[in-house]
Amino acid sequence: MFVSSALAQTETAPATVHSETGTAEHAAFPPFNPAYFPSQILWLAIVFYLFYLFLKRVGLPRVGSVLETRRERIAQDLDQAARMKDEADAAVAAYEQDLAEARRRAAGIAQQAHDAARREADARRAEIEASLDARLAEAEKRIDSIKAAAMQDVGAIAVETTGEIVRRLIGATPRDEEAKAAVAAVS
């Protein structure tokens, strides 16, 4: 073992006996003694070099491999995330396309239903108009027949009224032919 010259020359401090414990007491703690510094620095350098070699050959390769593995895993995770994002974007695009197609079909179905309802309403309206036209024509025929009957009755009433007016005015009753001729001349 290597011992420095400072260690070889040991100085002994006068020992004093401690009054309470009864043991010998030295003047300075050896690691703090400047005489031992060169040997401590030498051993520090040797231990540091051995620690450096240990870290270089054992510790750092392990840490490096862990970091490399972690870097690869992160890269794989990022690639997978990008793939999944692309798949999600494709799924969203397909969904939107399907939704647009469904809306277009729904609009077509709604338009067909609207057209069918309009055709049905037009057909129903045409039926009702035809029914109303038939009833109107029938009512007009009845009105015409009633009017014609009334007109015939009006002529008879007019002749009768004319005869009554003449009788009250003159006191004599005219003949039916004369009253009819007078009414026909006025109308």
Query: Hey, which residues does 25 pair with through a beta bridge?
Result: 16
Average pLDDT, the chain: 85
- Residue ranges covered by each domain of the chain: 152-186
pLDDT band for position 16 (cuts 50, 70, 90): low
For the chain, count helices (H), then strands (E). 4, 2
Residue 179 has pLDDT above 60, yes or no: yes
Q: Name, of 36-40, 153-157, 169-173, the range with top average pLDDT.
A: 36-40
Report the C-alpha gap between 95 and 89 in whole angstroms. 10
pLDDT at 78: 96
pLDDT at 119: 95
pLDDT at 24: 58
Residue 3 has pLDDT above 80, yes or no: no
Extended strands (E) in 48-136? none
